[in-house]
Structure 1
Amino acid sequence: TFFWCQVDVDSATQPDGQRLTAPGGQYQACARAVVRMRLLGLALLASCVESQDGIILARVTLFDQWFRRTEHTRAHTSRHTDGKAGPDAPEAWTVRSKRDVVRGELIYNKAKRVRRGTTVQGNVSVVIKGVGRHDVAHSSNRGGSLLYLELMFMEALRDQPGIPPLLGAWFETDGSLTYVVKDVGQPIGGGQGGHTTSLSKAFKKRATETPLQLARSLLACFQSWASVGFLLDDFRANQFTMDAQGQIYLVDGPKALTDSVLGVHVVNTYHKTKHQIENGVHECQRDADCPATVPQHSCPVASLGVRKLDEEAARCEPGSVGAPEARGKCMEETCERLSEKTHVWDVANRPWLLPFIADKATGPAKSFLLRLIAFASEEDPDKRPDFGELLRRVDGFVKARSRRRRLSNS
């Protein structure tokens, strides 16, 4: 048996176009029930889909139900959300209103406004983000734009390693979007432009004392988002944090590749590609015919060992090497496309990532990490491992080492 109802914010219609009515507040209760049934149906669909892409897409669809309904309520009716998430917000959100947090110091205010804060219940440290002073038109909070994509990134990948827990979001009375994430530690380092990255004392300590655990946390973080079609081209150490347990998090949302399941969803839903990375098929005769990513990711200057801080192209620190496909690589008259394996190359060829950890390691752990870096630096993406393979190798090495230690102590 099916119950059909097309729900607007204030009305519903039957298939013949006649308006459905109900006395008093009964219709509103009915409308909310229908919405809950639709969300439940999508949740059940997600639980039945075996592929990772299917599960992620179902989560995003649930999130879009909330985002589009809340945005519609704010923009097209006499109501406003007044800092409340609303009844359609994802169940995992524990912050349901701006009154659930206490706002603290302002720590950044450009493209986004970022504050520290705490939750009213439990006094949990959080980070509160919203529209920054550079966005006078508040365009970054609309569907398919900057803040929307960051929310989508965290909601779609909820509970995955290296993804900051999204605690809640709402639209302010002026129409701007605000969201709250759990505080996941301090940046692992700083520096940009072409300057050498300055890594934090805590990161250096972990790399020295537990290099394999730190390497695994780093690889698991990258796997969570790179394996589903996200790519971080604005690549800096201060976009990653480390908590007290040594877990690495990406705290600045990456961009979706246009050919990924999420990229296609955003284009089909909101008809926007501004905050995505084009990744279509390109014919070529030479490498120069192929598109490169932005200089701070493709490293066209630093890869040649040249340091020219006054040039726009010199955006990577000395020693950084961009992946061949990020610089533009023509293979059999077709440009190599970006993928998860592009970031596999990156973690092995940025001085502040795996090379730094390997440098701090000693003995067999150091030799193993150097072999892992060489494996991840394969020029041909088809021969290069993915993050799952790298993690299996780390786990296998740690397990074998533990077994040898037990035998030697017996």
Structure 2
Amino acid sequence: MTHQSDEHLMCFPNTTAQASANNETDDDSFFQCFWNEKTEPTDEYVFFLVNGGTTTILNCIVLIIAFLYVDTRSKPSQIFVIHMTAADLLVGLTVQLSRPFAPCFPSYVCGPYYVIAWMCQMGSVAHLLLLNVDKFLSIRIPLRYQVFVTRRRVSIVTVACWTALFIISVISYTVFLQFRDPQNPSCVAVEFKPGAYYAFLTILAYVAPTIYSFAISAYIFVIAQASSRRLGSISERQRRMLMQRIFFVFSSTMWTFITCLPYRIGFALYIFCIQRHIASLNQTENANATLPVETLIPSENMPVCGNFTISHHKPPVYGIDPDACVGKVGLVAITYMFKLLQVGTVGNPIITIITQRQYRGRVIAAWRAVAKALHMPQWCYSEERREIITEARSTRLGSLNESQAFQIL
């Protein structure tokens, strides 16, 4: 086998039946090659542990506040917020914090690991879509909204959503996912067969719901602005206060749109491109080519549970030019898009705390208590200033009647 010297290209013998039968191992067609970004293991450990730890802490704060202080009977839409936050929390625990240690997992852990990871990642996007639909209904049927959207109905929808996502995840793992080496199974050496299934799943479960959420959120934002302008009896400050009530959904959707779509679309297109090139070869040894979820290639001089170099979701290339689709720059871009995707779970709870007063108020109260206990300067926790601001806001918002509020929201 002859290859150009390239530190990013790692090739291994292709173990297909045709290659074994003909014993033609000196042909490039009988080697499978992986693009591998040389990354310091310590950097990967730090990124996933810090990002996962931050995700876990922030989402725990939001969930604690929600369980203790949020009334889901009068505000059933908060159930969607709680489930979206719980999904992000489980992503931080199962995907991010455990990722550096995935090579150490026994094979029987792989099933629950992937099912929970996929279910929670899809669940976060799905509940964001449900939250947008809920806000859309509050605008389209403002007078019947409280009768139509009840705590019981919202709970039924969330249970049905989680059930559907669980079934999809189980089918994806049991039917379409395979260990690369069945004799020595590893949770980090798996592949989809057919490879295009992962691309279709990405589009249906991530890309489409995110685009739908963005379209609904943009529509709500435009309609709310137009409605607030028609109400000439309210001031500019009152208009801003009412717009803040829909800003949470809009900002959460925008954040997911920015952090989720680039990687999901980029990697799905890359898989489709690789599949097209594989099909064009029309060779027997490539007929059953598959694509991995991810490839963690252990270092030759380190144990499996030690240092390793990570190739983020890089599909194997079977006897074709690795630059045929996106090239080296594109693969590096997809790698950083993948990291941006992980950062998305950190931003969601921050947006929840900043844009929703019931969460923000509890965090401020907790900060004030900590600041007092640590004898910090008084300006850091002045109660008088906060009470004045709260009273002023309540007075302005209280001047609106119920029909005006529903017309805007």
Q: Which of 1 and 2 has greater Rg?
A: 2
Question: Between Structure 1 and Structure 2, which shows a larger proportion of strand residues?
Answer: 1
TM norm structure 1: 0.24
Q: Which has the higher contact order (CA 8 A, sep 6+)?
A: 2
Question: Between Structure 1 and Structure 2, which shows a larger proportion of helix residues?
Answer: 2
TM norm structure 2: 0.24
